[in-house]
Amino acid sequence: MNQLDQQVAQRLTRFYILALTVIAVLSITGLLFIRRTLSDHNNDGRVVNVAGRQRMLSQRLTKLALLRISGIPTSDTASFAALLNTWGQSHRQLKRGSLHMEKTYLVRKSKQIDRMFTTIEPFFQSMYGSLARINAASTTPDQKKAALKTVLQNEPFFLEQMNAIVFQFDKESFERVKSLEQIEWILSVATLVTLLIEALLIFRPVVTHTKNVIRKLTESDEALRVVNGNLAVANADLAMTNQQLIETQHELVRATEEKYRLQIAEDTVRSAGLLEGQEEERRRFARELHDGIGQMLTGLKLQAEKLKVVPFPEPKHRQRFEELCEQIYDVIQSTRQTSHNLMPSVLGDFGLGAALQFLAEQTTRSSGIEVIFEGSDDENRLNPAVEIGLYRIAQEALNNAIKHAEAQRIRISWHHSDSKTALLIEDNGKGFSLKSPPQENRPIRATHGLENMRTRARLLNGELTISSKPKKGTKVTVQLPDTTS
């Protein structure tokens, strides 16, 4: 909308809200008046009933007093004292302006009713005192007769004044109802006037403005159709261009995916070749150590042991000879350990389970860390490449747990079945965050070793999962499909 439309809309909105507010106020006011008047009318009706009952109670008390003094029996079983108490209590409450019954009723009195209660008060007090003396057990018969005479003398005046009070209560209640009717007429007329003003100042301008808007919309509809036609042609061209772009994008995505797959395959072949070359080089070097240097060291040890029976001229020469023999033995053990780490013979002879168990025992002896092995009893051998790959993963994970995790307990679990093979290496070390980058003064993780483990698992068509949290330890899991040789 332009500025003029906004001004018109704002003005009409203000008028409309004002008119609705006035109507709502008038309606709510009328409802409140009606509700209040009904409540007051209910109170007035109860007051009139109680005031009328006062006449009946006075006549009933007079009759009972007369019958009691005359000695005439009566079928009225009501308690004289209770009737007298109710009559007196109701009179005092009416006079004070508050009736206490099932709830408290307000007695609305005019000045005229107050004057009428002032006029009737001496007659009431005289009758109430005389009736109380008649009810008293200590009063003599002559006193009761005198009291009855007083009651009979005052009763006509009391009844006359009480009738006037009842009629005055009823008259004032009717006048309040008439006042409510006048107020309702005023509110109704005000509501009708508000509706008329609303029709003239709001609805009529709204209708005129709506007609102008519809006319303008009709005039612009044809121009809009022409523009829509042009836009349809442009949209068709744009859709064709978008389709071509989408096809080009799909071709680009397919080319990129193909390039990525080729790169992954090339990396896999390269990694497989490198790892196979590494393993072959380890086998060759292990054989050289075992068959070459190992045999020569063993021969050297045998030659040295033969010299033990030769006497030495000095004790220090014997001591140096013993130290030399111990060094030769340590070199032999180191050579055997290095040869075993390069290519453990137990892996080729007895399989992966025995190799992992031997690795756990050997690590426990060399590092002093508790390494527990749990494996299945399946005697089916795996493919040699699979056994070597899983062994290297376990070896790398175990090495990381000892060097970086500072673990005190490591568990190696291996389970093999016809459907899958699972390898688990779990430690209770300090762990690490897989998301947070390394910070200063913080030991660098063996990321190269982790990548080697992932590469080996991928080459075995398996899945490697690493889960770790700071101070929660690390868990390395490898799962392979059926790998039975």
Q: Is the dihedral of CA 45, 50, 54, 57 positive or negative?
A: positive
Alpha-carbon dihedral angle through residues 275, 278, 283, 287, given to the nearest 10 degrees = 180
Angle between helices 204-287 and 315-342 (to 10 degrees): 130
Concatenating the DSSP letter of every residue in 407-427 gives: -SEEEEEEEE-SS-EEEEEEE
pLDDT at 442: 43
CB 415 within 8 A of CB 422: yes
Q: How many CB atoms lie within 10 A of CB 363?
A: 21
Run of H or E residues at 237: helix 204-287
The answer to whether the predicted template modeling score (pTM) of the entire model surpasses 0.95 is: no
Closest CA to 485 of 343, 286, 334, 351: 351
Give the Cα separation of 248 and 308 in Å (integer): 86
- What is the DSSP-derived secondary structure letter of residue 461? T
Run of H or E residues at 432: none
What is the tally of helices (H) and strands (E) in the chain?
11, 7
What is the 3 state secondary structure string of 163-199? HHHHHHHHHHHHHHHHHHHHHHHHHHHHHHHHHHHHH
Residue 212 one-letter amino acid? N
Angle between helices 3-70 and 80-96 (to 10 degrees): 140
pLDDT at 476: 92
Q: Extract the tokens encoding 48.
A: 């009139």
3-class DSSP state of 138: coil
Q: Is the dihedral of CA 309, 313, 319, 324 positive or negative?
A: negative
Q: How many CB atoms lie within 10 A of CB 439?
A: 6
Give the Cα separation of 237 and 250 in Å (integer): 20
452 class by beta-carbon count within 10 Å (0-12 exposed, 13-18 middle, 19+ buried) = middle
Give the Cα separation of 386 and 300 in Å (integer): 38
Angle between helices 294-306 and 315-342 (to 10 degrees): 160
Beta strands in 50-173 (DSSP E): 98-100, 104-106
> 51-74: b or e for each residue (b if 16 or more CB lie within 10 Å)?
bbebbebbebbbebbeeeeeeeee
463 - beta bridge partners?
Answer: 479
Each of the 485 residues of the chain gets a pLDDT tens digit; together they read 556 567 666 766 776 677 678 777 777 876 776 666 666 666 777 788 888 888 888 888 888 888 888 878 877 777 888 888 989 888 888 888 888 877 888 888 788 888 988 899 998 898 889 888 888 888 888 888 888 889 889 889 988 888 888 888 888 888 877 877 788 788 788 888 877 887 777 667 767 777 777 788 788 888 888 888 888 888 888 888 888 889 889 888 888 888 887 776 666 666 666 666 666 666 666 566 656 676 677 777 676 776 666 777 777 777 777 777 777 777 776 666 676 666 677 777 788 888 888 888 888 888 888 888 888 655 677 778 888 888 888 888 888 888 888 788 899 988 877 777 888 999 988 888 766 544 444 443 445 678 888 888 888 888 898 888 888 889 999 988 765 54
